[in-house]
Structures are given as C-alpha cells and as structure tokens.
C-alpha cells in the first residue's frame, strides 16, 4: 500500500493526541478562517471573506491551519497565510489564533511553518506587519525580528 506523501512544510507529527494538529489549508476551510479572523481583529481591520479568499487563491501564497483534536472540539484554532514573491520577499499576510488557544504555541507552530516555506522558496526577508500593541508583534520584535509597525487597518486603506 502506497503511503500518502506529507507536506514538506509541516513539522513531524506531534504526540500525544491532545496536541493540536497542523495541516495545509483546504478550500472547505474558508468559512472557518473568515469567522476566526472576525474574532481576532476589530471591525474595519478584520479581512472580509472576499479578501481572505483572494489571498488564498494567489499563486504566490500558501496557508496552513491548526485544528484542535476531537477531544478538544475538532475545530480550526489558528491559521496563517504567507506569500513569497519573485523578488525574494516573504510576507506573513495574516496570522490568527483563537483567544482560548493563545500562549499555547499555536502561533509559533504556524509562524515556523510559514517561515520555513518562505525560506525554501528563496526569500531573503520576511515581512510581518503588526499593530504596536499586538503581543505577537512584541514577541517577534524581541526575538530579533525587524520592527514593522504598520497596522492592518493602515495597509488596507
């Protein structure tokens, strides 16, 4: 029996089964991603369903989701959309984690996966835009990331 090939961007499978599962985005996830983005960002900052769909369809982008296990609800608890252009620049378009799942390594799992994909696709730089008061942005800057402070609301204008 032929084994299915694993996405090379995903880290090795984690155990035990209570650890949320990272997987590649599927088209059937769109509504859940839209709903999660509405929870994670304020009105006027959160992306519309059409904007999320447009980013997901871009040929230079890729997305991953984190699902909770069946024991903890079996729902999407986080996602990232990343892109990598031909100039060697990566971009984290959005990284969303459901409030109850924050500070549980979901964002780190998504970010690491996106960073690995962007690097393998030749990016020399990765841009992540956050608001000044965004905790993830503060952690990213503290870990050595460049300070990029353009808020989502400003770049949509």
List of domains in the chain: 21-156 (3.40.630.30)
Q: How many helices (H) and strands (E) does the chain have?
A: 5, 5
Listed range (4-18, 64-78, 85-99, 111-125) with the worst mean pLDDT: 4-18
C-alpha 140/C-alpha 134 separation (Å) is 10
Q: What are 24-36's pLDDT values in tens digits?
A: 999 999 999 999 9
Phi and psi angles of residue 81, each rounded to the nearest 5 degrees, phi first: -120, 125
Give residue 133's pLDDT. 57
Cα–Cα nearest to 94, from 119, 141, 129: 129
Q: Which residue has the higher pLDDT, 80 or 150?
A: 80
SS3 content of the chain, % helix, strand, coil (to 5): 35, 20, 45
Which one has a higher pLDDT value, 71 or 150? 71
120 band by pLDDT with thresholds 50, 70 and 90: very high
Name the pTM for this structure. 0.76
């Amino acid at each position: 029996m032929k084994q299915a090939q694993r996405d090379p961007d995903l880290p090795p499978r984690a155990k035990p089964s209570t650890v949320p599962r990272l997987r590649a985005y599927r088209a059937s996830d769109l509504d859940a991603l839209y709903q999660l983005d509405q929870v994670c960002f304020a009105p006027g900052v959160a992306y519309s369903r059409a904007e999320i769909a447009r980013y997901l369809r871009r040929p230079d982008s890729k997305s991953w989701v984190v699902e909770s296990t069946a024991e903890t609800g079996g729902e999407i608890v986080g996602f990232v959309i990343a892109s990598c252009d031909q100039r060697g620049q990566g971009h984290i378009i959005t990284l969303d984690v459901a409030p109850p799942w924050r500070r549980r390594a979901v964002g780190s799992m998504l970010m690491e996966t996106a960073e690995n994909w962007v690097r393998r696709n030749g990016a020399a730089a990765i841009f992540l835009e956050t608001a000044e008061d965004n905790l993830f942005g503060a952690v990213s800057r503290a870990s050595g990331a460049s300070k990029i402070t353009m808020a989502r609301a400003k770049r949509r204008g």
